[in-house]
Amino acid sequence: MEKSLVTLERGTVCSAWNYCGQRLATGSDDGTLTIFDSRDPASSCSFTCTSKSRVHETSIVKVVWVPPEYGDAVACVCMDGTVSLWEEVVEDAQPLQWKLCKSFKSNSAKVLDIQFGISSTSLKMVAAYSEGHVKVYELLDSLELKNWQLQAEFQNVIESVSTFSKALCLSASISWNPQRGESQESSFVLGFNSDTPQLNSSKVWEFDQAHQRWLPVAELALPEDKSDQVYAVAWATNIGRPYEVIAVATRKGIAIWHLGLDPDADGRLSVEKVAMLSSHEGEVWQMEWDMSGMTLATTGNDGVVRLWQSNLNGIWHEQASFEPSS
Amino acid sequence: MLGVASDPGDGASVSGAGALVPFLPEARGPVVYPLHHGLKPPIARVAISWARGNSLRVSFFRRASGDGSDGDEVGGKVLEVRLNNGDGDISDAQLRRVAYGSVSPFAVLQSRRNSVASLSKISSPYHVEWWEYVMDYSKDINSLLGNPKSLPSPAIEDPQAVLQKVEEPTCLKAAWELMEVFYADKLSQAWLPERLVDWLTDYDSLLSSTQATIHLKVVDFQKELVTLQVIEDNTKYWEVISSALAVGWLDVVVKMLRLHGSYLLDQIGNRETENGLVEAVAVLISKMPRMRPALESGKLGECYKAKPDFIKAWEKWRAQITKLESSAFWVHCDHHRTREGLRNMLQIMLGNINSLCTATCHWIELYISHFLYIRPFTVGLESMYSLAKKCMQLKPMTSSHTLIGLVIGILGDNTEVVLAECSRSFGPWMVAHALELLTAGSDEAETLLQEERYNLGGISIEELHRLVYAQVLSLDALTWQLAPIYLTSCMKQGMGLLEILLSKQPVQHTQILLKIIEICRIYELDSISSNIMKIAGVYHWKHGRKGSGVFWLQQARDEVRLNRIALQLFDSVGQSISDESFKQWEGLIELLGSDSKTAGGLEFLRKYRDFKKSLKQVNDGKTTDVAQQAVESLISLMKNPSTPQRFWLPLLYDSLKLLSWQERPLLNVSQTNLLLNKVQELSMARLRPDFIEAELPPQALGGVRLALATNLGRAILEEK
C-alpha cells in the first residue's frame, strides 16, 4: 500500500512536489534547500538528491514551486519573513545550478504564505503578510524571474473603508482558482489566522480587468463564524461542475463551500455551505484536492491523514484515514 | 495500477477505501489504515500532496531534538500511498494486461453506441440488437479474465480422477460471468437456471476460501480415494456422491458410481442385483433432461430447447425414478451402504428437500439444487429472489464472501448494491466495465446510471466511474496512455480531467512530450498542447539547450517568449558586428528554419545572418557582385520594421566599406536617401532619454553620414 520514496535529513521542516511529481524540494531549519529528482519517467520510486545548498541564514518554513511555464524554480518562505526565488539554470558555460533570482524583503511584516497563479498574460504571486496585508506581484518578463512589479496591495476585508493597522497574524492560507482558461479572470481565496476578526474569514478575490484592481467577490463564512480564525483553504479543480468547490478549515472544522459561477448585479458570487466536517481535533495543517476535485485530503494536529468525499446524495463524509506509526 | 500495491510483508490492503468512489448508498464509518513511516517519534509535522492519478504522497518531519543527542540522522520520510484497490487474487501485471486488453472492446462498444444512436431516431440506442453488441463486448472482456477450461486434458485419463483439473478461477471472472448471465445474455434468459448450475460448477471452488463447499468435499475425497480398499463401505463416498448430484455435477457422480466395487470382474457374479441397481441409477442420472440448448462434451444429461418437450421428458424421467424407487430389487440388495446411498440419491433426484439440505453445504448450493430437482421452471427475478431468501434461511453461510454480496444484489434487482459490491470487491476497473452490462440489463438501471446528478457536479454515475477508473489508470506510467479512451467517453467532465492529466506529465522527457502532443492532436486540445510545448521550450532554454528551447517555443507559437529570446540574442550579438560569437548564434538561427514566421524578432535575425555572410565575403576580397548582394541585404534589413532601431547604426557602421565602394557607388539615389533618413531619425532619437547607445566609436554616426553623403553625390552623377 505504501512505499518509501525519500528519506529526509535531520532538520527538514517542509517539502513540495513539482507539477508532475518528479521533483521534490525540501527546506530545512538551517536554511538549506534540497532537491530530489526521479530521472526515470516510467518509475517514480527512485529519487536521488541532485542539489543541496544553503540558501538562507534562518529556517525555511515553506517551499512553493513556480508554475513550470516559468522554469524550474521554487520560492522559499523563511522564518524571518523574507521570500527568495531560486531557479535551476544553465548560464553560459557554467554547469546546471540553482541561482537566486529575486529576494522579497519587507521591513517589519513577515510573509506568511505565498502562492503563484497564472493569468492569461502573466505570472502572479500573492503574498499574505503578518500585519494583515495582501500583496499581489506580477512578473514583468516571462523568461526571467528577476523583475516583479507590485500590482496591488490590500487587506482581506470586504468593506475597504476601514483599515486595520495593528493586526497580528499567525498564519495565512492562499489558494488560487486552479482553472487556467484564457477567458477566465484570475481569482484566489485567502483566509487569515489573526487577532483581528474582520481579516480572518476567507474571501474570494477576483481581478477586475476593466479597472485593473482586485475585488472581493465572496465571503466564505456564515455571519456567526466570520471572526473564526482560518487555518487552511483549498480551491478544488473544476473539470466541468456548474459550481466551484472550496474547502475552508477553521477551529470548528472543515467547511465545504459551493461557489456560484455567475456574479449577481453587485458582482458578488453566490455561496452555499454544503458541509461542516469535524476533523483533526485542532489545527488543520494542510488541505489538498485530488486532480478531479472530488476527494479532499487533509492533515492536522492529530498527525492523521484523512480523505473526504461526497456521496451520491451530496453528503460529505470521511472516506478513509491513515494513521502514522513507526 | 488496479491491484493492491501492497507490501507483501505487512499484508495491508486498501480494498474498500481505495476505490474513492463517493457512492456507497449506506453510511459507513471511515476505514482506518496504518501508515508505517519507520521514524522515531515525535513527528512534528505531516505534509500531503496528490501525485498523478490517485496516489497520495505524505511527508513526515521529525521534531529534531536540540542537541542532536539521539544520534539519529534521519529527519523525515516521504511515503507514497496508492489508493487503488482491486481483486486480491490477481497480480498487478495481470491486471495491467486486463487493462490493456479491455481498451479495445470498450472503444468498439462506444463507437457502436455512437453509430447506433446517430442512426436511430429513437432516443434510446438500445433497440433489439444492442444486447448483442454488449454480448460481444462481454465475451471479449471475459476471455481476458482467464479461461478456466483451457487446461489440456491428459492423454491417459486417470480413472480415479473424478474432478477435472482446471486453471485456478478468479472471483473477478466469476463476478463478470454472473453479470453477463443476468444482464447481457438475453438469449439464455430462457434457461437461466441451467446457466447458474454451470456457474456454480465453475466457481464453487472460490467459495471454499471462506466456508465448506461441495467442491472442497470432492477434492478432499479425491485425495483419500487412493487409500480406500472397498469404496462402497466408506460413508464419505456416498456423502460426496449425493452432494455432487445435488448440484448437478452428473459426470462426477457417474464416474464415482462406476468405481463401485460391484463392477469388479470377480464380484460381478454374486453382486449382480447390486450392480444392476448402481448401473440403473447411473443411467438415470446420465439421462437427466436438461432445459438448455446444448451441453459441453463430457457433461451428462439430455438437452431440450423447447419447454413442452422438456416438461414431457422431465415427467417421464421422474416416473422412471419413482418406478425404480418402488422396485422390488432393493430387497435383494445385500450391501446396506449401497442400498441406502442409492435410495438417498433417488430422493435427491425426486427433490426431497431434506435430502437436498443435507447434501449441500451452503445456500447457493441448495439454491442450485432447487433449480435442478424442485423448480426447474423458475423464471423471473422476483421468484428467483424469494427462492434465494428461502434457501438462505435453510442453509445460511458460515461467513461472508465477496461474491455473495454481488449474487444477492443481482437477485434483489438492486443496481446500486451491485455497483457498490463491484466497487468494494473488485475495484474501479470492474465498475467502469461492468456498467455496460448493467445499463444493458434494464431500462430502470439505464436511467439510474445515466441520469445527470447535481450532487455529482452534473454528471451521471456512469461517467463518475469512468472518471475514477481513468484516474486509476493515470497513476501508472505504464497505463496512463489508456486513460484518454475512457475520458473521451465521458460527455461532461472527461475532457476537463484529460486536460489536467496531460498537464501533469513530465514534459522534459521527449518521448512523453511527443506522446502528449499526439494525444492532444487526436482530441483537438490545442491550448493544452501549446502550453505543454511552452513548458518544454522554457525547460530546454533554461537548461542550456537553446536550440530545442526555441524549437518548442516556436511550436507553441509563444510570441511573447520568442520575442524576448530575440531581444536576448540581440543583446549578445548586437554590440559589434565583428563579434566572434557570430558562429554561436548563427547555428541557433539555422535551427529556427525558414518557415518560422512566428516571431518578428527572429525574422530580423535571419536577415541579419544573411547580411553578415555576404559582408564577410566582401571582407574576404570578393567581387563587386557580392558587394551588391550585401547592399541588397542591408537595404532590406533597414526597410524591415522589425529591425530594432538600436541596430541601425551598427549595421551602417559595419557597411562603411559598402557605402564607399571604390569601383562605383553601390547604392542608388533612393536607397541612399532611405539610409540618410534613418540616420536622421537616429540623431533625433538620441535626444530621447530611453535611447540605447551602441558600443561604437563616438564618430561612428558622423562617419556613416559622410559616407552616405559621398555615395549620394556619386549616385546622382551616375544616374545622370
Tell me the mean pLDDT in the region B7-25.
Answer: 36
- Give residue B14's pLDDT: 35
Among the partner residues B46, B78, B454, nearest to A305 by beta-carbon distance: B46
Are the beta carbons of B14 and A1 separated by less than 8 Å? yes
- Give residue A45's pLDDT: 67
Are the beta carbons of B54 and A237 separated by less than 8 Å? no
Res. B5: pLDDT tops 50: no
* Shortest Cα–Cα distance, A314 to chain B (Å): 5
d(CA B77, CA A9): 9
Tell me the count of A-B CB pairs closer than 8 A.
297
Res. B65: pLDDT tops 60: yes
Q: Give me the residues paired with residue A133 across strands.
A: A155
* Lowest model confidence (mean pLDDT) among B21-30, B83-92, B353-362, B582-591: B21-30
Res. B39: pLDDT tops 70: yes
Residues 151-180 of A with CB under 8 A from B: 180
Percent of chain B with pLDDT over 70: 83
Question: Chain B: residue nearest A245 by CA?
Answer: B457
Are the beta carbons of B504 and A19 separated by less than 8 Å? yes
Question: Chain A: residue nearest B32 by CA?
Answer: A321
- Give residue A209's pLDDT: 84
Are the beta carbons of A311 and B23 separated by less than 8 Å? yes
Name chain B contacts of A42, Cβ cutoff 8 Å: 477-478
Q: What is the pLDDT of residues B409-423, one digit of tens each?
A: 999 888 888 988 888
Question: Chain B: residue nearest A315 by CA?
Answer: B455
- Give residue A16's pLDDT: 96
Among the partner residues A14, A42, A180, nearest to B477 by beta-carbon distance: A42
What are the backbone dihedrals phi and psi of residue B75, each rounded to the nearest 5 degrees, phi first?
A: -105, -5
Q: Look at B602 and B562; give whichever has higher pLDDT.
A: B562
Tell me the mean pLDDT in the region B6-17.
Answer: 33
Question: Chain A: residue nearest B9 by CA?
Answer: A1
Q: Look at B29 and A37; give whichever has higher pLDDT.
A: A37
Would you call B26 an interface residue with chain A, using a CB distance cutoff of 8 Å?
no
**Contact criterion met (CB below 8 Å) for A190 and A177:** no
Q: What is the pLDDT of residues B294-349, one digit of tens each?
A: 888 888 899 998 888 999 999 999 999 999 989 888 888 888 899 999 999 999 99
* Lowest model confidence (mean pLDDT) among A142-151, B605-614, B628-637, B653-662: B605-614
Res. B26: pLDDT tops 60: no
ipTM comes to 0.94
Tell me the mean pLDDT in the region A275-284.
Answer: 87
Percent of chain A with pLDDT over 70: 95
Are the beta carbons of A291 and B50 separated by less than 8 Å? yes
Res. B595: pLDDT tops 80: no
Compute the mean pLDDT over every residue in chain A, rounded to the nearest whole number: 90
Q: What is the pLDDT of residues A172-225, one digit of tens each?
A: 999 999 886 666 778 999 999 999 888 999 999 999 888 888 999 999 999 999
Tell me the mean pLDDT in the region B644-666.
Answer: 82
Name chain A contacts of B471, Cβ cutoff 8 Å: 290-292
- Give residue B20's pLDDT: 39
Are the beta carbons of A320 and B83 separated by less than 8 Å? yes
- Give residue B188's pLDDT: 81
Res. B18: pLDDT tops 70: no
d(CA B147, CA B149): 5
Would you call B353 an interface residue with chain A, using a CB distance cutoff of 8 Å?
no
* SS3 readout for A88-110: EECCCCCCCEEEEEEEECCCCCC
Tell me the mean pLDDT in the region A136-158.
Answer: 91
Name chain B contacts of A90, Cβ cutoff 8 Å: 542-544
- In order, the DSSP letters of B282-325 are HHHHHT-EESSS---TT--SEE-SSHHHHHHHHHHHHHHHHHHH
d(CA B390, CA B387): 5
Q: What is the pLDDT of residues B363-403, one digit of tens each?
A: 999 999 999 998 877 677 888 899 999 999 998 888 888 88
* Shortest Cα–Cα distance, A146 to chain B (Å): 14
**Contact criterion met (CB below 8 Å) for B85 and B429:** no
* Shortest Cα–Cα distance, A181 to chain B (Å): 9
Q: Look at B690 and B113; give whichever has higher pLDDT.
A: B113
Q: What is the pLDDT of residues B512-541, one digit of tens each?
A: 999 999 999 999 999 899 999 999 999 999
Which of the four pLDDT bands, split at 50, 70 and 90, describes residue B121? low
Would you call B544 an interface residue with chain A, using a CB distance cutoff of 8 Å?
yes
Cell digits for A157? 476585508
- In order, the DSSP letters of A272-305 are EEEEEE--SSS-EEEEEE-TTS--EEEEETT--E
Contacts with A44 (C-beta within 8 Å, 6 or more apart), sequence order: A5, A21, A22, A38, B51, B80, B477
Q: What is the pLDDT of residues A291-308, one digit of tens each?
A: 989 999 999 999 999 999
- Give residue A217's pLDDT: 94
- Give residue B9's pLDDT: 32
Name chain B contacts of A237, Cβ cutoff 8 Å: 500
Q: Count how many residues are written for chain A.
A: 326
Cell digits for A82? 523574507
DSSP B454: G
Query: Minimal CA–CA distance to A16: which of B477, B503, B57?
Result: B57
Cell digits for A143? 523568461
- Give residue B24's pLDDT: 43
* Lowest model confidence (mean pLDDT) among B238-242, B470-474, B611-615: B611-615
Among the partner residues A42, A288, A323, nearest to B49 by beta-carbon distance: A288
Q: What is the pLDDT of residues A4-45, one digit of tens each?
A: 889 999 899 999 999 988 899 999 999 999 999 987 766 656
* Shortest Cα–Cα distance, B199 to chain A (Å): 33
- Give residue B433's pLDDT: 94
- Give residue B1's pLDDT: 31
- Give residue B37's pLDDT: 87
**Contact criterion met (CB below 8 Å) for B5 and A292:** no
Would you call B339 an interface residue with chain A, using a CB distance cutoff of 8 Å?
no
Are the beta carbons of A3 and B5 separated by less than 8 Å? yes
Burial of B73 (0-12, 13-18, 19+ CB in 10 A): exposed
For B64, the 3-state DSSP assignment is: coil
- In order, the DSSP letters of B151-211 are SPPPSSPPTT--SPP-PPP-HHHHHHHHHIIIII-GGGGGGHHHHHHHHHHHHHHHHTTTS
* Lowest model confidence (mean pLDDT) among A52-61, A232-241, B265-274: B265-274
Which of the four pLDDT bands, split at 50, 70 and 90, describes residue B84? low
Compute the mean pLDDT over every residue in chain B, rounded to the nearest whole number: 81
* Shortest Cα–Cα distance, B173 to chain A (Å): 24
* Lowest model confidence (mean pLDDT) among A243-247, B115-119, B181-185: B115-119
Q: Look at B158 and B405; give whichever has higher pLDDT.
A: B405
Q: What is the pLDDT of residues B432-469, one digit of tens each?
A: 999 999 988 788 888 888 888 888 888 999 999 999 99
Among the partner residues B37, B48, B496, nearest to A240 by beta-carbon distance: B496
Are the beta carbons of A2 and B35 separated by less than 8 Å? yes
Res. B124: pLDDT tops 90: no
Name chain A contacts of B53, Cβ cutoff 8 Å: 291
Q: What is the pLDDT of residues B473-511, one digit of tens each?
A: 888 878 888 999 999 998 888 899 999 999 988 888 888
Going by their DSSP bridges, the two strands A97-104 and B74-82 should be labelled as unpaired
Q: What is the distance, to the nearest Å, from the Cα of residue B142 to the centroid of all Cα atoms in its chain?
A: 16
d(CA A213, CA A160): 13
Which of the four pLDDT bands, split at 50, 70 and 90, describes residue B17? very low
- Give residue A152's pLDDT: 92
Are the beta carbons of A6 and B77 separated by less than 8 Å? yes
Give the CB-side neighbour count of residue B435, counting CA atoms within 13 A.
Answer: 27
Res. B147: pLDDT tops 50: yes
* Shortest Cα–Cα distance, A164 to chain B (Å): 32
Residue B552: which H helix or E strand, with range?
helix B546-555
- Give residue B163's pLDDT: 65
Q: What is the pLDDT of residues B659-708, one digit of tens each?
A: 888 888 888 888 888 888 888 888 888 777 766 666 677 788 888 888 88
Question: Chain A: residue nearest B78 by CA?
Answer: A6
Would you call A317 an interface residue with chain B, using a CB distance cutoff of 8 Å?
yes
Are the beta carbons of B54 and A290 separated by less than 8 Å? yes
Rounded-to-10 torsion of CA B480, B482, B486, B488? 90
- Give residue B588's pLDDT: 65
* Shortest Cα–Cα distance, A177 to chain B (Å): 14
Would you call A143 an interface residue with chain B, using a CB distance cutoff of 8 Å?
yes
